[in-house]
Amino acid sequence: MSFSGMFPSNHAGKLRSMPNSVTPIVRKRGRPPGPNNRAGDGRNQSLIRALTLLERLSDAPGGVNLTDLSQQLGMPAATVHRLLSTFEELDFVEQDAELGLWFVGLKAFTVGNAFLNRRDFVASARPHMQRLVEQCGETVNLGVIDQGEVVFISQVESREVMRMIVRLGSRSPIHASGVGKALLASMPEQQVTRILQQRGLARYTDHTIDSPPTLHAELEQVRQQGYALDDEEHAVGLRCVAAPIFDENGQALAAISLSGPKARITDSRLSELGSAIHQTAVEITQVLGGRMPAGQV
């Protein structure tokens, strides 16, 4: 999972508020340039720059200053400032003039929330997630798939001092996360193969599965037992169990996961926690009017 980290609760806020905690852009999302999507077109280029800037701000909850944005985006400072000023007029970004930092604004949040408003599964799932936290004592997350990656869209945190923290909107590798493997196990084999070919099987720890045959075998086990396990595959010392939520057509809509330190999610608890996460996913599926597909536990 793409975690902000596992920290004592009194440190989490400080880490979230650190300014300029961003990294250079390494890829651009969206369709590659083609006959009907020419990056060289002036209007398209301006749009790409504007949306890339907004995406960069969304990755920096502590804010970013103009100089850093210019360097990270590879754009002249004057161009970046012009875009920021336009976004500010439209309430898509905000500026802390005293600190010289720029932040995502309320309008961007409103527009982004339109995705969640398409389906009310976040609100429907939350009471079940809260009950699962009370039952098991660990953080519960809700995630979906976007462009072959896991994106976390809701969370109910554990009350433990040492607990899992994941920033909403953050991404995690699909093959090295509980949510990712739970959703992969619900896909046709051809779709799984296509995603793995596109995304690859990067190795994050000594426990990461980086062999397609091994991963396919594990996905079959996920289907049989009803839940997936991330056993220190994305971060050493962290474990996660997850199960998919299905819509009315028996298609995986999202997945919920229960995450925490291996010291608490011990081998002796895996069966119990796996059963709990699976049962909760079934309950949410039923509340949404969904159905479990054939072959699923």
Question: For the segment 187-209, what is each residue's pLDDT rounded down to a tens digit?
Answer: 988 899 999 999 999 999 999 99
E strand or H helix at 192: helix 189-199
| Domain contains 7 | no
Give yes or no: residues 230 and 105 share one domain.
no
Last residue of a domain, one of 112, 134, 161: 112
Residues 106 and 150 in one domain: no
> Domain range holding 168?
120-287
Is residue 17 a part of any domain in this protein? Answer: no
Taking residue 39's Cβ as centre, other Cβ atoms within 10 Å add up to: 13
Question: Quick one: 92 and 175 in the same domain?
Answer: no
Give 278: exposed, middle or buried? Use CB within 10 Å, 0-12, 13-18, 19+: buried
User: How many separate domains does the chain show?
Assistant: 2
pTM: 0.64
Domain boundary among 95, 112, 129: 112
From 58, 78, 112, the end of a domain falls on 112
- Tens digits of residue pLDDT in 213-245: 999 999 999 999 999 999 999 999 999 999 999
The 3-state DSSP class for residue 24 equals: coil
Answer yes or no: are the C-beta atoms of 134 and 280 closer than 8 Å. no
Strands (E), the chain: 5-8, 64-65, 93-96, 101-104, 139-146, 149-156, 162-165, 171-173, 228-231, 238-246, 252-261
- Same domain membership, residue 139 and residue 249: yes
Q: What is the CATH number of the domain that holds 69?
A: 1.10.10.10
22 lies in a domain?
no
In the prediction, which pLDDT does 139 show? Answer: 93
